[in-house]
């Protein structure tokens, strides 16, 4: 007879470094399973992937037993790893922080293929390219020229916005210098109305 599922939990934990302390303990503790048992099984299963964040889907059953399925590392983490950057662009596609080659994108797509909603490697590569674009990472030969042009346009818009802001501040300062007295009157409604 199949076990009845009590709850499913998705976590992203660094490979080989799960501990009963937060955040793992706070997410798994209320489920009533042995946290140390989960941590040791997860660490054993991910020992060969040290340095990566490995998502895990934990299924807890009503009899307080559990099993889990390991997923592939998040695409953003893989892109940062291949691009050799610490963080993505804070301005998205408007600022290029790194460039990947087509081979890098293919390797990432091959790694992520089991978890992506794609039928072939070309579709998976398009998904990875889109994620990279949103992170400010260009793909050589695909969108690097387009993103460079977009970054230049964004920079020009930023300069124009700074000029408008400076002009506005100047107008506010000159308005504050002129002391204009304004008399405010209020009308009282009569009780007859």
Chunked in runs of 10, what are the mean pLDDT values of the chain (193 residues)? 84 89 87 89 90 90 90 92 88 82 92 91 92 87 71 81 86 72 66 54
Domain that holds residue 46: 5-70
User: Which two three-digit tokens encode residue 26?
Assistant: 């706070």
Q: Which of 138, 108, 104, 109 is nearest to 122 (CA)?
A: 109
Task: Report pLDDT for 103.
Answer: 92
Given a contact cutoff of 8 angstroms between Cβ atoms, the answer to whether 24 and 13 are in contact is: yes
Count Cβ atoms below 10 Å from residue 125 Cβ, excluding itself. Answer: 22
Task: Report pLDDT for 125.
Answer: 92
Angle of helix 75-83 relative to helix 121-135, nearest 10 degrees? Answer: 70
Task: Report pLDDT for 168.
Answer: 85
| Same-domain status, 110 and 132 | yes
Task: Report pLDDT for 71.
Answer: 92
CA distance 60 to 131: 32
Task: Report pLDDT for 121.
Answer: 93
Q: Which residues are CB-neighbours of 49 under 8 A, at least 6 positions away?
A: 15, 16, 73
Task: Report pLDDT for 150.
Answer: 73
Task: Report pLDDT for 64.
Answer: 87
Query: What is the pTM (predicted TM-score) of this model?
Result: 0.67
Task: Report pLDDT for 189.
Answer: 62
| Same-domain status, 64 and 95 | no
CA distance 146 to 131: 15
| Same-domain status, 96 and 44 | no
Helices (H), 69-183: 75-83, 102-112, 121-135, 144-177
Parallel/antiparallel/unpaired status of strands 137-139 and 98-100? parallel
Cα separation values, 129 from 83, 113, 133, Å: 13, 14, 6
Q: What is the number of domains present in the chain?
A: 2
| Same-domain status, 142 and 110 | yes
Name the domain boundary from 112, 131, 146: 146
Task: Report pLDDT for 40.
Answer: 92
Residue 166 lies inside a defined structural domain of this protein:
no
User: Which two three-digit tokens encode residue 20?
Assistant: 């009963």
| Same-domain status, 48 and 88 | no
User: Which two three-digit tokens encode residue 28?
Assistant: 């798994």
Task: Report pLDDT for 10.
Answer: 92
Task: Report pLDDT for 180.
Answer: 59
Given a contact cutoff of 8 angstroms between Cβ atoms, the answer to whether 50 and 13 are in contact is: no
């Amino acid at each position: 007879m199949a076990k009845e599922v009590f709850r499913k939990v998705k976590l992203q934990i660094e490979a080989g470094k799960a501990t009963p302390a937060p955040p793992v303990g706070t997410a798994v503790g209320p489920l009533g399973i042995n946290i140390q048992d989960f941590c040791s099984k997860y660490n054993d299963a991910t020992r060969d992937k040290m340095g990566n964040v490995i998502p895990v889907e934990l299924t807890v059953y009503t009899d307080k037993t559990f099993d889990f399925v390991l997923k592939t590392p998040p695409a953003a983490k893989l892109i940062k790893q291949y691009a050799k950057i610490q963080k993505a662009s804070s301005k998205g596609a408007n600022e290029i922080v790194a460039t990947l080659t087509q081979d890098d994108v293919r390797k990432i797509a091959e790694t992520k293929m089991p978890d992506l909603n794609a039928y072939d490697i070309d579709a998976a590569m398009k998904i990875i390219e889109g994620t990279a674009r949103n992170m400010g990472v260009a793909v050589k030969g695909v969108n690097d020229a387009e993103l460079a042009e977009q970054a230049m346009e964004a920079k020009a818009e930023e300069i124009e916005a700074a000029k408008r802001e400076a002009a506005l501040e100047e107008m506010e300062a000159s308005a504050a210098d002129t002391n204009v007295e304004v008399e405010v009157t209020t009308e009282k409604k009569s009780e007859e109305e």
